[in-house]
């Protein structure tokens, strides 16, 4: 797939974009099907589906499909879509391609409250996801409140995010020190993965993620205008502060809900938006956001599939795999971009 060449020739004419989205949709279906079909145990997918459709779930295959694979694929699809869109939004708001949800404190906040819940209610593992979500929200609100006190500029938000994150990270380490029993479950969360995920794990999250995705798509045009810079956006009649706050909140809700059941697999939020911008050009979020959702969902699902089958019957947490695959790919993109745009005026990669 030659995705880098396209960035130099703008390719957002309607039909091309529609084709791109169509291909991503196909990729999504393929990933989902593969995710259901493959795994450490090989199952007869056709027979299992037939059995489930006829109302029964007696055979092992059908039960694996219903209780293991299906929730897992749903979880990876949801988490991938949410994190990719979250990343796309936060990069647009901060006009910084290096931004990802953890910049506004999502990871550290979610991590701290997960550990907090694990330490406080060791008998109730169900409180950890709730803690993660609320922690992400709380951290982001603190970041925003602090930054708003200083004018809520882009740089202030990033700086406040770094400071708040480091406080919460210190909190995580404190809990680790005093409640070493939280280490096992906690580190699973920090690495991120979908092992053993069930429908009840993702049911509160999808109720957040789906409406938030819809809201993000509805805000595509204001997001475009916000990307033109604060003053231009203001003079075009956009309520800059309100839009920025709302987009940050959406980004946080998406990422927080995703990490609540998947752990910190948030590298997706940095990587996928980049690839999507290469494919679809910049500045048209009506296209970029759905594309990010589709690609993010497919990417995480495929990575999760790999994590299951690569060393079957052992499993590598998908968070590790994502970083091992995504990191080099990201570096590759940087090198490619440098080579193709050697004399771009405004610093190429680091300018949106």
Residues lying near other proteins in the complex (CB under 8 A): 10, 12, 95, 218, 221, 224-225, 227-229, 231-232, 234-239, 281-284, 344-346, 351-352
Tell me the closest approach of the beta carbon of residue 241 to other proteins, in angstroms.
11
Tell me the closest approach of the beta carbon of residue 222 to other proteins, in angstroms.
8
Q: Cβ contacts of residue 281 below 8 Å, gap of 6+?
A: 6, 7, 10, 11, 12
Would you list the DSSP string of 11-27?
A: ---HHHHHHHHHHHHHH
Is 190 or 287 the residue whose CB approaches other proteins more closely? 287
Tell me the closest approach of the beta carbon of residue 209 to other proteins, in angstroms.
21
Is 95 or 127 the residue whose CB approaches other proteins more closely? 95
Is 195 or 282 the residue whose CB approaches other proteins more closely? 282
Paired tokens of 30 = 């393929």
| 348: DSSP letter | G
Is 250 or 297 the residue whose CB approaches other proteins more closely? 250
Rounded Cα distance, 171 and 154, in Å: 26
Radius of gyration of the chain (CA): 20
Tell me the closest approach of the beta carbon of residue 33 to other proteins, in angstroms.
33
Is 176 or 284 the residue whose CB approaches other proteins more closely? 284
Rounded Cα distance, 223 and 28, in Å: 25
Do 160 and 152 touch, CB atoms closer than 8 A?
A: no
Paired tokens of 250 = 């959406």
Paired tokens of 97 = 């391609």
Q: Cβ contacts of residue 73 below 8 Å, gap of 6+?
A: 32, 35, 36, 301, 304
Tell me the closest approach of the beta carbon of residue 352 to other proteins, in angstroms.
6
Is 10 or 56 the residue whose CB approaches other proteins more closely? 10
From residue 103, alpha-carbon distances to 100, 254, 342 in Å are: 6, 14, 29
Tell me the closest approach of the beta carbon of residue 346 to other proteins, in angstroms.
6
Is 10 or 196 the residue whose CB approaches other proteins more closely? 10
Is 50 or 351 the residue whose CB approaches other proteins more closely? 351
Tell me the closest approach of the beta carbon of residue 314 to other proteins, in angstroms.
44
Total number of residues shown for the chain:
352
Tell me the closest approach of the beta carbon of residue 64 to other proteins, in angstroms.
43
* Surface-to-core class of residue 332, CB atoms within 10 Å of its CB (0-12 exposed, 13-18 middle, 19+ buried): exposed
Rounded Cα distance, 174 and 211, in Å: 36
Tell me the closest approach of the beta carbon of residue 285 to other proteins, in angstroms.
11
Q: For 213, how many CA atoms within 13 A lie in the half-sphere containing its CB?
A: 26
Do 117 and 88 touch, CB atoms closer than 8 A?
A: no
Is 224 or 304 the residue whose CB approaches other proteins more closely? 224
Omega within 30 of 0 (cis) for the link into 110: no
């Amino acid at each position: 797939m030659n995705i880098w060449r396209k960035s130099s020739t703008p390719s957002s004419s309607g039909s091309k974009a529609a084709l791109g989205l169509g291909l991503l949709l196909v990729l999504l279906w393929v990933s989902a099907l593969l995710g259901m079909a493959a795994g450490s145990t090989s199952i007869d997918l056709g027979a299992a589906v037939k059995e489930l459709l006829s109302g029964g779930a007696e055979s092992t295959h059908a039960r694996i499909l219903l209780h293991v694979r299906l929730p897992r694929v749903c979880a990876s699809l949801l988490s991938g879509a949410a994190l990719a869109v979250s990343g796309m939004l936060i990069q647009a708001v901060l006009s910084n391609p290096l931004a990802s949800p953890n910049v506004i404190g999502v990871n550290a906040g979610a991590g701290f409250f997960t550990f907090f819940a694990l330490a406080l209610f060791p008998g109730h593992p169900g409180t950890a996801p709730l803690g993660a979500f609320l922690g992400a929200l709380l951290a982001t609100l603190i970041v925003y409140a602090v930054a708003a006190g200083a004018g809520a500029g882009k740089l202030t938000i990033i700086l406040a995010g770094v400071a708040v994150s480091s406080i919460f990270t210190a909190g995580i380490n404190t809990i680790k020190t005093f409640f070493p029993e939280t280490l096992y479950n906690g580190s699973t969360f920090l690495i991120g993965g979908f092992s053993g995920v069930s429908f009840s794990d993702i049911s509160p999250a999808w109720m957040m993620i789906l409406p938030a995705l819809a809201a993000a798509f509805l805000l595509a045009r204001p997001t475009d205008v916000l990307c033109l810079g604060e003053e231009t956006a203001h003079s075009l009649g956009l309520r800059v502060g309100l839009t920025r706050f709302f987009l940050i909140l959406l980004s946080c809700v998406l990422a927080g809900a995703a990490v609540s059941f998947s752990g910190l697999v948030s590298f997706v939020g940095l990587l996928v938006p980049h690839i999507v911008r290469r494919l679809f050009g910049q500045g048209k979020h009506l296209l970029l956001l759905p594309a990010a959702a589709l690609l993010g969902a497919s990417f995480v699902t495929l990575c999760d599939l790999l994590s299951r089958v690569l060393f079957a019957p052992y499993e590598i947490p998908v968070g590790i795999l994502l970083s091992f695959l995504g990191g080099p790919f990201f570096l590759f993109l940087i090198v490619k971009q440098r080579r193709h745009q050697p004399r771009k005026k405004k610093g190429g990669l680091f300018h949106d």
